[in-house]
Structure 1
């Protein structure tokens, strides 16, 4: 009985120690897999994962960082660590809330606690809210990134802090951030080179999600700010937009409903985001026009008719449109490339789907994989 009580006291003591240290018991088969990933990779392949188990089918010979935007998955953490890849938290906070220093400190403390508890390797700060240039929020956001990076680097040595930015530094979607200071503060900027039609100021027409020239010009703009190329990760879309055409011109221009967004009269919100696996299936449907190519925007698209007879135009990215973007990453010496999101390819055993999926992963490394 005495031995049992001693054991019970020991277990309670051990539990208290674990709680105090902020760690749970390591859930991995090998305890060393709960250690933070410290080594730097020469080239980042940054994957957003939104949950489920499709991560098992990722090309793990390429993946370096997984931003876990879905439910926390210990199996994913253990497996990623076994491959030398980081798993980082999603960090989001209401912009006005963080103007108060005490609120920022409390938020950062909680993120560090959570990362330690879950044996994670950093945080991806995803704040896509409007911020006015020179406002209290403008300075608070910069302070948040700086303070978060300092805390993570101190508490989890070798950890990575990344910050998601719009496809262009030119106040896109009224996100007027201090990009230069933020880039200096954190380890990398993930540039979301998609949703580039979020503010349509001209004709309300369907266009490419990430037209090549527009996309690359925006990176030149980031680099012109003297932001180091080694701080920039190019984000590419593995999804497209399905637009119902209000009117279709003889030349094939698809006029879309007017859906305003942050000061612009029209936006891609008139369409519906569709994953690559859906696009590939729809492309081969009997009502589809088949794959077409726009040589100005350097992007594929197609038409189809729905069950009501309405014509839709779908714009997306595929290996042909992605490879020139990846080639730019290599040519300019950017930190890496990544996608939103890793889950939305077809990872089934269907031979055609497997080939399509392999080509999409390979496209991240540009024409050298072609």
Structure 2
């Protein structure tokens, strides 16, 4: 007969062996990396390593992205609520940026590296485990308040397993969540998505992604490049009509407006014109065949060149001052002749007026805020002209507009189902009114006194025409 103490000892040994195997493999029950150790505080003042307290859900966001190459001590920090570093987290400047941001009472975050394999969302694979472990380690070391995951390329791939992606992001969210009793402020997981929600495997709903993983959705300003049937010509980085359509579509598919961040660029794009019409100011671009065996073509929009506002002002100040505004796109542009390439080039960008329109839209429709790309678009060039422009440009955030509370209901948005319902309602109302009017008309005719038959004919036959005798 086996004693109880021996059985208990065996159970303990087996439990320890299983625990060691899980520790070696680096996988827990939830698929998340094991517990990791936080690096020492890199700030001179250790208070700057303390994450900020949770903000109110009603507070609006003015998020600024940066690669940490500009002098962040000269920024107008009063206009910024969160700064996101896109550079490598091992960069010492990124650590200094975190310390300075917390010193300015501004939240700090970082954008994670893309997945090793876009089509492999297996949470137990070594690549995915290492990827999640790095995110968790960086979040701890940088005392980050926000983690940004760029999903634009994933959603533009041909085949995406949405359920597997949601499961993976759920594990990422678990891995960045505070585990100690000292850290009580939750970490915000922000997902960068295309300007319009794509249908993934015939699933167009984003409600599960919003409920289980992403706290905020930032609409990528660079994703407007993916436009079909839009004409092969230079155009605004963010057409105003497409911006409104994208927000509307996300709202229809389960993402509430107060979880949407509107991404806006402070830079512009330069297009090389294959043909240029001076009268209409249209810059036509090259079209190339997608496949030599077919007649399908694509527009070479991807060959546009990014240009900062500093470079625009320094190199093209004459054209910049005389820029025109497209009323449909609500965006400025200018055209110039490049003597080096003997070709016309057209530059589309954002100015104070076009940005004001976007900020006002974010406010009026109750969006969470705006995400600005990037701080370096102001500070790359150090000419005296640009330095004088920088001070005014930081005011372009117009955070006062974003932070204003909506005192009146936002403008009515007509979703596709709403429009269809209104149309059907109008049709039914028209039918009912038509029947009512017909009934009233028949009742009036029924009550009317009927004259004697042929009475009118008899009256017409009788006449006293004495003139005939003349």
- TM-score of the two chains, using structure 2 as the length reference: 0.66
Distance of 1:260 and 1:242 partners within structure 2: 22
| Secondary structure in 2 matching 1:32 | helix
For residue 135 of structure 2, the aligned residue among 103, 111, 129 is 111
**Shift in Å, 1:252:** 1.6
Which stretch of structure 1 is more off in the superposition, 175-184 or 251-260?
Answer: 175-184
For residue 299 of structure 1, the aligned residue among 306, 310, 331 is 331
Distance of 2:248 and 2:110 partners within structure 1: 29
Matched, 1:365 2:420: no
Distance of 1:195 and 1:69 partners within structure 2: 17
Larger radius of gyration: 2
Distance of 1:132 and 1:242 partners within structure 2: 24
Distance of 1:354 and 1:191 partners within structure 2: 25
Residues 109-129 of structure 1: CA distance to partner in whole angstroms, max 9, x if unpaired? 331122212332341111322
Q: Given the superposition, is the C-alpha separation of residues 361 and 313 from structure 1 closer, same or farther in structure 2, using an over 3 Å criterion?
A: same
Name structure 1 gaps, 5 residues minimum: 1-19
Distance of 1:299 and 1:121 partners within structure 2: 33
Residues 132-162 of structure 1: CA distance to partner in whole angstroms, max 9, x if unpaired? 8995632222112222112222436421211
Q: Given the superposition, is the C-alpha separation of residues 222 and 281 from structure 1 closer, same or farther in structure 2, using an over 3 Å criterion?
A: same
Distance of 2:350 and 2:302 partners within structure 1: 18
| Secondary structure in 1 matching 2:120 | helix
| Secondary structure in 2 matching 1:112 | helix
Residues 150-194 of structure 1: CA distance to partner in whole angstroms, max 9, x if unpaired? 22224364212111001111359x998863222222221111134
Structure-1 residue corresponding to 2:118: 95
Structure-1 residue corresponding to 2:27: none
Which stretch of structure 1 is more off in the superposition, 93-102 or 349-358?
Answer: 349-358
For residue 84 of structure 2, the aligned residue among 67, 77, 84 is 67
For residue 86 of structure 1, the aligned residue among 76, 94, 107 is 107
Matched, 1:27 2:42: yes
Q: Given the superposition, is the C-alpha separation of residues 132 and 24 from structure 1 closer, same or farther in structure 2, using an over 3 Å criterion?
A: closer
**Shift in Å, 1:131:** 4.2
Q: Given the superposition, is the C-alpha separation of residues 300 and 137 from structure 1 closer, same or farther in structure 2, using an over 3 Å criterion?
A: same
**Shift in Å, 1:339:** 1.0
| Secondary structure in 2 matching 1:233 | strand
Contact 1:199–1:267 at 8 Å: present in 2 too? no
Which stretch of structure 1 is more off in the superposition, 142-151 or 213-222?
Answer: 142-151
Matched, 1:129 2:150: no
Structure-1 residue corresponding to 2:266: 238
| Secondary structure in 2 matching 1:140 | helix
| Secondary structure in 2 matching 1:77 | helix
| Secondary structure in 2 matching 1:96 | coil
Distance of 2:123 and 2:226 partners within structure 1: 30
Contact 1:259–1:269 at 8 Å: present in 2 too? no
Distance of 2:157 and 2:70 partners within structure 1: 41
**Shift in Å, 1:100:** 4.5
Distance of 1:153 and 1:135 partners within structure 2: 30
Contact 1:64–1:86 at 8 Å: present in 2 too? yes
- TM-score of the two chains, using structure 1 as the length reference: 0.83
Structure-2 residue corresponding to 1:6: none
Name structure 2 gaps, 5 residues minimum: 1-34, 291-295, 405-470
| Secondary structure in 2 matching 1:183 | helix
After TM superposition, the structure 1 = structure 2 runs for residues 266-277 of structure 1, keeping only pairs within 5 Å, are 266-277=299-310
Contact 1:300–1:318 at 8 Å: present in 2 too? yes
Contact 2:154–2:160 at 8 Å: present in 1 too? no
